[in-house]
Amino acid sequence: MSVQEYLDKYLVSRKIEDAVNAAVRAKASDPILFIANHMKRAVSPVITKIKARQILDSRGIPTIEVDLFTNKGSYRASVPSADVSLAASVAIHEALELRDRDNAKYFGNGVSKAVAIINDKISEALIGMDPKQQSQIDQAMIDLDKTDNKSALGANAILAVSIAACKAGAAEKEVSLYKHIADLSGKTNAVIPVPAITVISGGKHAGNNLAVQEIMIMPLGASNFEDAMQMGVETYHHLKAIISEKHGPTGCNVGNDGGLAPNISSISEGLDLVIEAIDRASYNGRIKLALNVAATNFCFGKKYDMNFKSPDKSGQHFKTGQEMIEMYTKLCTDYPIVSITQPFDKDDWENTKVFTALEHCQVVGDDLLMSNPKRVERATNEFTCNALLLKVNQVGTVTEAIEVVKQAKDTNWGVVVSHRSGETNDSFISDFAVGIGAGQIKAGAPYCGEHISKYNQLLRIEEELGSGAVYAGETWRSP
């Protein structure tokens, strides 16, 4: 038995002895109940231990899992991973993951250094702190890191502990996680977000020739979240059948986000397939469409190569920013598209601004913003886009994520809480989306555990809220 284990056992024994003596002195009519209540008060709400380990994300790439202990129990969190192939010019705008860079193990993507930092430095700094004090815990890690982008301790290390502490804080208050997050963000009404469900994958997330990264469906006309998921799942499976009929079974391969990946090359061809699936499912008018273009991936010298994945066509038909605007305008006219994410390059502020001003649809900043408060401030000042794609690990702590959401909402932007390309089964973002009243969540296709876990948690939350549950639905942008 270690010294710490001995002390823990000794302290618990002392607390029991004290409780028994107090019951005797009080001549309690129900000694057992008295002792239980006395013990409950005696157990102070403090972090007693933090233990981290390396696990694998949905792509088989290492990420971090943390167990955080208090006198009340243990709380586990695992963090998603950024795209490890992300260009440095993009990554400098987000909080940085700490990777081992040892090419002999996991191609340099191991996180053993970050794990050691949690088990040593972060653990030492946080033991004894009250898990209900989320901002103080997060600030303690920020102060320990002492960098602008969390590169010293690693954003993945900091966030894993931050999320675990948030779960512990909810338990100490004896409330659900989303209610605790609502308290932290100053929200009084819980709102179940509209899911932006991936149904077709392309871009760098799939092996087909489709340039855009995702075609999504949004069940705005659902009566509640359970109804929304039924609509989304049925449409997904009808789409799978349609693709199998037209492209054969290999067309039903899936991409990183679980979307189907038929070998199509045009956006309109993909949208036509989805419209046919919606029609077959009898949800016309109740389901709208959304695109995640991820145009940074095919922008070369301020021009856009929609054939960048087709070796025999790549570079032959570049589009200018104006031509991209014309293409999006036609798509929004021909199809019920209500949202487009990252329609231009990460630094193409001007064309993004011009397209947003046309008010064809919601324009969501992803690479453009990187959930970075400074870039969000610039975009709000310049009216560049009108919605934030919030990825918690781009910010690095729960507190800072809440703050950047407030920053976006103060300008009447939409907020989309998003997963990452490397996911785990942790469903934290579901509670987060409800707690902050985001109105929208992007968690991939209704396929594979890492995506399903988020949707299942939202079903549980809706069930818990009962008649008090409010589905964002038609008020998805400003619930």
Sign of CA dihedral 279, 280, 286, 287: negative
In 3-state terms, what secondary structure has residue 102? coil
CA 389 to each of CA 23, 75, 313, 321: distance values in angstroms, whole numbers, following the listed order: 55, 27, 32, 22
What does the pLDDT read at residue 19? 66
The residue-averaged pLDDT of 207-233 equals 96
19 or 389: which leads in pLDDT: 389
The answer to whether 231 and 286 are in contact (CB under 8 A) is yes
Q: Where in the chain is the domain with CATH 3.30.390.10?
A: 47-174
Candidate list 57, 83, 257, 305, residue with the active-site label: 257
What does the pLDDT read at residue 415? 98
Span 146-160, pLDDT tens digits: 999 999 999 999 999
Over the chain, what is the mean pLDDT?
A: 92
Span 232-278, pLDDT tens digits: 999 999 999 999 999 988 889 998 899 999 999 899 999 999 999 99
Catalytic residue check, 27? no
Confidence grade of residue 27 (pLDDT, cut at 50, 70, 90): confident
Burial of 101 (0-12, 13-18, 19+ CB in 10 A): exposed
Pairing of strands 194-201, 214-218: antiparallel
- Rounded CA-CA distance 287/164 in Å is 35
Annotated binding-site members for Mg(2+)? 366
What does the pLDDT read at residue 84? 60
Total Cβ atoms within 10 A of residue 33? 11
- CATH number belonging to domain 47-174: 3.30.390.10
**CA-based nearest residue to 327, from 204, 335, 14:** 335
Confidence grade of residue 10 (pLDDT, cut at 50, 70, 90): very low
DSSP state of 128: T
Confidence grade of residue 132 (pLDDT, cut at 50, 70, 90): very high
pLDDT surpasses 70 at 341: yes
pTM for this prediction: 0.90
Span 416-463, pLDDT tens digits: 999 998 999 999 999 999 999 999 999 999 999 999 999 999 999 999
- Rounded CA-CA distance 417/436 in Å is 10
Catalytic residue check, 257? yes
Span 64-81, pLDDT tens digits: 999 999 999 999 999 998
Annotated binding-site members? 366
**CA-based nearest residue to 439, from 476, 406, 394:** 476
Give the DSSP per-residue string, 319-346: E-HHHHHHHHHHHHHHS-EEEEE--S-T
Q: Where in the chain is the domain with CATH 3.20.20.120?
A: 185-475
The secondary structure element, H or E, covering residue 442 is: strand 439-444
Q: Which residues contact residue 92 at a Cβ distance below 8 angstroms, ignoring those fewer than 6 apart?
A: 149
185-475 placed in CATH 3.20.20.120 = yes
The residue-averaged pLDDT of 166-177 equals 97
Confidence grade of residue 92 (pLDDT, cut at 50, 70, 90): low
The secondary structure element, H or E, covering residue 78 is: strand 74-78
Confidence grade of residue 3 (pLDDT, cut at 50, 70, 90): very low
As a whole-number percent, the residues of the chain with pLDDT over 90 amount to 80
Candidate list 167, 309, 319, 391, residue with the active-site label: 391
What does the pLDDT read at residue 4? 47
